[in-house]
Structure 1
Amino acid sequence: MPTPAIEVRGLRKAYGAKTVLAGLDLTVPAGTVYALLGPNGAGKTTTVHILSTLLRADAGQLRVAGHDPAADPDAVRAAIGLTGQFSAVDGYLTARENLALMADLNHLDRREGRRRVTELLARFDLTEAADKPVVTYSGGMRRRLDLAMTLVGDPRVVFLDEPTTGLDPRSRRTMWDSIRELVAGGVTILLTTQYLEEADQLADRVAVLDHGRIVAEGTPAELKRLIPGGHIRLRFAALAELESAARALGPVTRDDDALTLQVPSDGGVRSLREVLDRLDGAAVEVAELTVHTPDLDDVFLTLTGRPDAAALEGANPR
């Protein structure tokens, strides 16, 4: 098996009597996007700061790009990039000057530094504004520059801590495209976000963090199947077909006026195949079929804000 880009076992961190991380376990395969979801105070940013060597853990076994952040922080820093919650650009410098500064900090020689700066300006659509003070930039332009600065050292692992907070929908989608390009090039992304659509769009796997623990982890589709309320909606051309389908399928919710049935389902292929096999066995034709599953908003609210969260923890797809 390939070595994971990030491995965390039993990560703990407390500030005095307040426990922020209470035994965190996670594994991030190389070349994937892993999203950490959680309410404010869940421990997302603390996790990122520990993995990126900005904080020391109280306990736990950690590996980032094969290195221990505590024992070999320089090796970790050489392999990673970090885009924090707040822009780290200097507003009084131009984009070109900000990137050149990062090239110097990454010990690139002058020729390689200029080449890398020009490449990143073009990649993030900042060439026309490259020599204007960053203080004149829009929020989306600043965030693109922030990410470009993170990539000057060509990192293998990138931490993005709520990278699109405050951006308008167009700028957010532009940032998503940039993230997808990075992953297509083999970069590993650990993303923290409170935008559920962002995790759904980008993440290969999602962990829901609450009170310093991961309460559920899996693909977005797996997490959605944890939450009740999914169903298959069937529409028929005539009432006779609806009646036959209802007899074949057992307990369903029916709407005779709309000629529809709702069949409880987890949204998976197996349950869909079972429904279709029963309809085929009864020789019933379906005019229209749609699958409805809970979204990540439902997952987030159920796991972090309702009394039955503990019950769902036992159904963790891990």
Structure 2
Amino acid sequence: MQAQRSDSVRLTLRDQGEPGSSRLQGEEADRPGAEAAPAASRGKRLQGLVQGRREYLQLSQQTVAARLEMSTRAYGNWERGVVKEWTDQKLYGLAAALEMTPFQTERLFWLAVDRAPQPELRSPVQQPAQDASTAAFLGDYSVMINALALPAFLIDHRWNIRMANGAFRELFRAVHPHPTAMPTDNFLRFGLFHPDASQILEGHVAWKLSMLAQLAASLERYDDDAVLQVMRREVYLDAALREMYLQDMPTWTYGPGADLLHHGGTLRLLLRHPDPGLGLKGCRFVEETPRPLQAQGLTRITLVLTDPNDGAAAQKQHFRSLQAA
């Protein structure tokens, strides 16, 4: 009776496709298709996990493909399990794009490669090759901006953070982890989508309006950029942000309000620094980009922290009139 029960348990695990169920022993391993059956079962469960997670998040294949910086067709192959080899880098990237929890990420690994994740093997994102002189310049530039007391950072046209100094990281030290909207990854996504943003970006609605204006300005210049289009689509999926983008943001740009960069230094916002000695501060974006950075498609921004009352009265008056409209 005990032997029959053991056989039943082993067959049940095989049929369910649980991790490790492909390790058949004895005569079962010699049966035709014995290994293929659990592998096929895991493949179907993998497809179900990936597609189900995407649909739960209400994301299109195009949106996930843009997050992964690949074509929609290539991502469609991933979702169908048509992959030459599942590497750790691919799986970690897919888990991040689908905002998976640690439990879901572990399940993804078991279904794809029949083992648990191994964080120490996680491959870094490959950066474009740089010549020796450019690499040396960027190294020196990193030393320079880290010596600044004010928060400073470099962005690309998508507002991805490419370099940031210690003062910038200190400003956001208390921010909780988020799969797609960390301030040290993309500044616009942080301000628009991170739940902690309002704790630092004081008067968060004004920040959102200026960031939406920046998104619109960036899309005017790079209208075929898939990643910026995805960000706009995510704005549309949020009812409050969509209304703000379509109705309030145009009015914002007609008055003292503007986007984050193209405003001649007139835009004043407020932020609350985590250092109690600094507390509430005015914030002005200063763009100052030398030619070597421009050649790399990068923009250098410094957050100039000022008296919170400096230039804020006109902006508050405009914002009140916007709310009353």
Alignment TM-score, normalising by the size of structure 2: 0.22
Q: Which has the higher contact order (CA 8 A, sep 6+)?
A: 1
**Structure 1 or 2: more strand by fraction:** 1
Alignment TM-score, normalising by the size of structure 1: 0.23
**Structure 1 or 2: more helix by fraction:** 2
